[in-house]
Amino acid sequence: MKYYFEVLKKYAVFSGRARRKEFWMFFLFNVIIGSVLSLVSNFLGGIYQLAILIPITAVGVRRMHDVNKSGWYLVIPIYSLILACTDGTKGDNKYGPDPK
């Protein structure tokens, strides 16, 4: 849950880098919370997905920065998934210091 709240604190921060663990833990909790809310009410699930759209995009962009790629790589479906699964660049890169 710590990573979920960390991402929400950086609601619309598109600069910097996000670790692989931060990205996937946020994704996991997002799926769980969205699924539970959708089971309760489709309306609540839809509202939640709209509310979380900016943070999921921001953490995705920061994840692309961690592998030393532009945030625009998110629009390439399979390649962005591969990049999200790979380890980040060791040390500093042009997007900031290593988050590890």
3-state secondary structure 22-55: HHHHHHHHHHHHHHHHHHHCHHHHHHHHHHCHHH
Q: For residue 100, is it within any domain?
A: no
> What is the tally of structural domains in the chain?
1
Q: For residue 94, is it within any domain?
A: no
Q: For residue 15, is it within any domain?
A: yes
Residue 39 has pLDDT above 90, yes or no: yes
Q: For residue 97, is it within any domain?
A: no
Max CA pair span of the chain: 45
**86 Cβ neighbours under 8 A, 6+ residues apart:** 20, 67
Average pLDDT, the chain: 93
Q: For residue 92, is it within any domain?
A: no
**What burial class does residue 26 get, using C-beta atoms within 10 Å of its C-beta: 0-12 exposed, 13-18 middle, 19+ buried?**
buried
Q: For residue 74, is it within any domain?
A: yes
Q: For residue 20, is it within any domain?
A: yes
Residue 1 has pLDDT above 90, yes or no: no
**Residue span of the structural domain in which 20 resides:** 2-85
What pLDDT is attached to residue 27? 95
* Mean pLDDT, residues 28-48 taken together: 93
Q: For residue 11, is it within any domain?
A: yes
